[in-house]
Amino acid sequence: MLHELLDCVDLRLDAGAEEIPERLKEFEDKTILFNTSKGRVLGNLCADRDKIKERWNLDAASLLNALENPKTVEVKGDGNVKNNISKPDLSKLPLSRYYARNGGKYINSGVIVANDPEYGRNISFHRMMFLDRDRLVLRLCQRDLYSYYDRAVERGEDLEIAICIGLHPAVLLSAATSPRIEVDELTIASRLLDDFYLVKCETVDLEVPDAEIVLEGKITQENAPEGPYVDITQTLDFVREQPVIQLTSMMYRDDPIYHSLMPATQEHLILMGMPRESTILKEVKKVADVNDVCLTKGGSGWLHGVVSINKSAESDAKNAIDAAFRGHPSLKHVIIVDNDIDIHNPDDVEWALATRFQSDRDLVIFKNVKGSTLDPSAGEGAITSKLGFDATKPSKDAKFDKVFLK
């Protein structure tokens, strides 16, 4: 359900700039739409996994199916995003700093489209900090886009990109997947959407989804300080020298809606976490009869997971622990439970630990292994320890059964 907030936020005032993140946090589990002096803002679009499943049929299972069965994307000559084409001017967008300790205003919901002569098209999420009207500084992690940029630099070129803002949740979730480098994530989105097409850009040789707003430009070889930045764990990431994006054009719909994505909120956790739930699901399926997977809110949607299985052998839970870590290498702690436990209910999961888990026989410890760079407690190179909890009941012992009213 969409909640429309009637009063307008005046972004010409300092208090107005602070009001956007305050609203996103206050209504964290509700999709909200409101007006600002710089246009309409949508927040918390993907903040409720039940509504995402009900409205768009999107969950770990459907994402896994799309990953395994990509579909070709149609390219059309025109789209609503081409209603307006102008010189880039980021000052016209309702950007936000989100947290006072951030280094500047950020675009967090922007999905970057790029192309490589060998590997083809790639889409991915990357945070971008505002520099001026037509420049951003990009946090470029060592993923596929980093490889595309590195290869462009080797060719002596800047890397053409398009930044898409205001996309369908299926495209957002597809952009957060990590398939093989030669897999176009837009073909994953195409499997999830019935009427999905791309349009050609104006100043770069790329095709993009028919978004609300598209910023065209290039990742240059100029660097600038990026950060600090409050990331998904609600801890502060440090300042780095990162590549600068030079914008060349701006396309947008009539009266466009700007999707404002606040870091470390439920929407951020779901968009990052759900695609990893699908890869955990894929790996656990190989060793056990799996029901569902959840990366928990308390684990920042990234570091802690719960997996529900139908146990047929005593080795299933330990095998599922190993598989879960293979499916999501950034995972730090994973709990395996039976199918009578609601993995989305922390109290239910804790009950399983309290009544079915014994640390001397059910705890699996992994020492000095690669973890997540997002974990502030990890050592140099993200080296960490990991724990797996077998909170399943012995297969045929009734004293471990959970008793319900009926």
Q: Which helix (H) or strand (E) holds 260?
A: strand 257-260
Contacts of 174 (CB under 8 A, 6+ apart): 63, 66, 123, 185, 186, 188, 189, 192, 275
Q: Which residue(s) pair with 75 in the sheet?
A: 198
Which 3 state secondary structure label does DSSP give 16? Answer: helix
Q: Which of 231, 292, 362, 390 is catalytic?
A: 231
Half-sphere exposure of 65 (CA within 13 A, CB side): 11
Element (DSSP H or E) covering residue 170: helix 169-175
Contacts 24+ apart (CB under 8 A), 231-236: 231/263, 231/264, 231/374, 232/263, 232/264, 232/268, 232/269, 232/272, 232/300, 232/301, 232/302, 232/374, 233/264, 233/300, 233/302, 233/303, 233/374, 233/375, 233/376, 234/263, 234/264, 234/300, 235/376, 236/101
| CA pair distance 168, 179, nearest whole angstrom | 20
For CA atoms 49, 50, 51, 54, the dihedral sign is positive
d(CA 66, CA 175): 12
AA letter at 113: V
In the numeric block, the tokens 């997947």 are attached to 177
**Length of the chain (residues):** 406
As a whole number of angstroms, the distance between CA 16 and CA 25 comes to 15
Provide the terminal-to-terminal Cα distance of the chain, rounded to the nearest Å: 33
231 catalytic per annotation: yes
255-256-262 Cα angle (round to 5) = 140
Find out whether 178 and 186 touch, Cβ atoms under 8 Å: no
Residues marked as catalytic: 231
